[in-house]
Amino acid sequence: GAVVSQHPSRVICKSGTSVKIECRSLDFQATTMFWYRQFPKQSLMLMATSNEGSKATYEQGVEKDKFLINHASLTLSTLTVTSAHPEDSSFYICSASVSSYEQYFGPGTRLTVT
């Protein structure tokens, strides 16, 4: 099956700093990548949809200036959490779309802001 990687898998940062998370599709070209956030015992909440070469589409309530998304190629999308605060601590998961029927998830990045 399609493989999606994320880096880093875990990051701890101080409040006010920025963190970049990379999402790569390893064996396929993804036309669309998605960024989700999951708080403990909650479901996945879509943050934004990212298409290569164009601006990301953010979901309602997600601050685009705080969560910067860059989709530079068909295999790489990055999410930068700017000026992170403790309430941004969460499990961030990307996914890549192979077709309209399938979406494959990366292993996730656990962010802790102290």
* Contacts to other proteins by CB under 8 A: 1, 32, 34, 42-46, 49, 57, 93, 97, 100-108
Q: Is 86 helix (H, G, I), strand (E, B) or coil?
A: helix
Q: Which two tokens stand for residue 35?
A: 């960024």
Give the separation between CA 11 and CA 30, rounded to whole angstroms.
25
Nearer to other proteins, 45 or 74 (CB): 45
Q: Is there a cis peptide before residue 107, judged by omega within 30 degrees of 0? A: no
Q: Which is nearer to other proteins, 16 or 107 (CB)?
A: 107
What residue type is assigned to position 106 of the chain? G
CB of 16 to other proteins, least distance (A): 27
